[in-house]
Structure 1
Amino acid sequence: MSRLIAAAIYYVDVAPEFLVPVYAGKQYLVEGKLFARPIRAVTSVESCSEVPHVLIIKFCLTPGNMLTQELELKKRLLQESSKILTLQIQAAKEAMDDAQESANEHQGAMEDRFESFREACQIQRDMYARQLDELITTMGMLKRVNATKQNSEITLGAVVMTELQNYFIGVSLGEIKIDGESFFAISGMSPIYKAMAGKTSGDTFSFRGKEYKISQVF
């Protein structure tokens, strides 16, 4: 049975009847905890007479619905990470093959300038080969992430929501956007991960002079 466990206040410039029930990047309370993710189970939208352009949006959720949404977001982050890595692997392989082909074209050339060019191509080919090996290793690490696991503390595979930024603990890929919401994919070797490792919702950690309040871990 569903029950009302969340409410939020939003500053908007549209009338309630035009509001789409998907609210990304906003903060709201669920059972006393601060969250900042899209929620679609809206029960009512009420205007606030005291303050213009303020709406009180109420959500009716079940714990099962919340868990499903969290795991779905984690799955999408994992899929997007895999897609980015696959493209990087393809690009590295193509660059390596191109460099090898250029080197082969000058195989057996006697003139110094051709030999120097061939050596430069071979060096470039070896560089791309090392990059390809690193990317394949990184993909292997990403495949260790279990998108069906609910994390209660920050470890490999966790999605971490803070008041400043959101993180996906897997491999280092930079910013990933899901439905317009930003997540930074970081690895377990990154300095910021070491600052937050093992913490859970409600905890704080410091990194490079900034204090981060963890609003949610899953």
Structure 2
Amino acid sequence: MNKDKIIDTIRTKIADKIQTFEKLIGETRASNNETKSSMGDKYETSREMVQQEINNLQRQLNETVNQQALIQKITSEPSPKVQNGALVKTDRGLFYVAASVGEISIDQQKIMTVSAESPLIKAMSGKKKGDVFTINTITQTIENIW
């Protein structure tokens, strides 16, 4: 498995997300400036709703920037156990422990990117090849770790 390709794909997805959030925040701020009218309270309510949307987008942007900082620290070195930067193959699929950006496809292999904070990774954290773990009454075996 080429972990460099996985890391590059995740970095690209995160950079795209950051650009999207920055664009949305800019567009929302611009629409907030255009919302002026002589309607008094309705105007203030509308401005507040737009401000809440900006705050929500800003929070999501901050989370994505944190993911970007995390993925910058990850190397493609082999991992002896389940930890950040590990590519884990279980009898149920391939999982890459890093920032959660959903499913990616590398060389026609589907890989689910999962945060180290997720319940799945917490259940398998520190385990090695051949170890068994259970989550939500489903038992899985770790077949390989890269």
Is the structural similarity TM-score above 0.5? Answer: yes
What does residue range 10-29 of structure 1 map to in structure 2 within 5 Å?
none
Alpha-carbon distance, 1:170 to partner: 0.3
Instruction: Check whether the contact 1:167–1:183 (CA below 8 A) recurs between aligned residues.
Output: yes
Are 1:102 and 1:118, in contact at CA under 8 Å, matched by a contact in 2?
A: no
1:104 counterpart (19, 33, 46): 33
Aligned to 1:181: 109
2:125 matched residue in structure 1: 197
Tell me what 1:155 maps to. 83
Which amino acid is the alignment partner of residue 122 of structure 1?
A: Q
Q: Which has the larger Rg?
A: 1
In the other structure, the counterpart of 1:124 is 53
RMSD across aligned C-alpha pairs, in angstroms?
1.4
Task: Give the letter aligned to residue 130 of structure 2.
Answer: G
Task: Tell me which of 11, 19, 22 is aligned to 1:93.
Answer: 22
Q: Once the two structures are aligned, what percentage of the paired residues are identical?
A: 25
Instruction: Work out the CA distance in 2 between the residues paired with 1:193 and 1:176.
Output: 17
Q: What is the distance in 1 between the residues matched to 2:135 and 2:35?
A: 52
- Of 118-127 and 136-145, more deviation after overlay is shown by 118-127
CA distance in 1, matches of 2:124, 2:47: 48
Q: Which amino acid aligns with 1:213?
A: T
Do structure 1's residue 144 and structure 2's residue 73 form an aligned pair? yes
Structure 1 or 2: more helix by fraction: 2
Shift of residue 115 of structure 1?
Answer: 3.2
Which residue pairs with 2:12 in the alignment? 83
1:126-174 superposed Cα distances (whole Å, 9 cap, x missing partner): 2111111111111111111112x11111111000011111100001122
1:133 aligns with 2:62: yes
Name the structure, 1 or 2, with higher relative contact order (CA <8 Å, separation 6+): 2
Structure 1 residue identity aligned to 2:60 = Q
Larger strand fraction of residues: 1
Task: Letter of the 2:138 partner, please give it.
Answer: K
Q: Deviations over 1:186-205 (max 9, x none)?
A: 11100010111111111111
Give the Cα separation in 1 of the matches to 2:47 and 2:93.
47
